[in-house]
């Protein structure tokens, strides 16, 4: 999976830099933690843990000042959400979310950055 993410990041022109913060892999699991910097200087923190029974993720996107823009995750909190455990943090609110992939998150960020650049 690490190579898949790296390949994906290398193809995206709006990705300016990225670093692998942590990576662990065993016979039946992997854990990835990455930091990705985009052309608008916003940052995405990627965390994934995968084993035979679980796929846990957090994709935390923040602006260049460190203010949360969006965070997609499936931490087992917010049982009040219909889509539990899948949820989205946005503007200090918790919203329903379908399960998302890193590909979907990067597509969303790319479109959002592109729209913001058009307004300038």
Q: Residue 45: which of 66, 30, 29, 25 has the closest Cα?
A: 66
Tokens 């990455």 found at: 34
Q: Which residues contact 29 (CB under 8 A, 6 or more apart)?
A: 49, 50, 51, 52
pLDDT in tens for each of the 120 residues of the chain?
Answer: 778 999 999 999 999 999 999 999 999 999 999 999 999 999 999 999 999 999 999 999 999 999 999 999 999 999 999 999 999 999 889 999 999 999 999 999 999 998 766 543
Handedness of CA 103, 12, 16, 111 (dihedral sign): negative
Q: What is the pTM of this model?
A: 0.92
Residue 119: the pLDDT is: 47
Residue 51: the pLDDT is: 95
Q: Which residues contact 24 (CB under 8 A, 6 or more apart)?
A: 30, 31
Residue 82 and residue 95 in contact, taking contact as beta carbons nearer than 8 Å: no
Residue 69: the pLDDT is: 97
């Amino acid at each position: 999976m690490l190579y898949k993410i790296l390949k994906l990041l290398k193809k995206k022109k709006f990705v300016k830099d990225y670093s692998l913060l942590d990576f662990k892999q065993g016979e039946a699991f992997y854990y990835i933690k990455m930091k990705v910097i985009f052309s608008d200087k916003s940052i995405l923190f990627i965390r994934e843990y995968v084993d035979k029974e679980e796929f846990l993720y957090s994709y935390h996107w923040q602006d260049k000042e460190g203010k949360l823009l969006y965070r997609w995750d499936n931490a087992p909190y917010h049982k009040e959400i219909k889509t539990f455990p899948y949820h989205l943090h946005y503007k200090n609110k918790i919203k329903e979310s379908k399960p998302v992939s890193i590909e979907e998150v990067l597509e969303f960020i790319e479109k959002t950055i592109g729209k913001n650049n058009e307004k300038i």
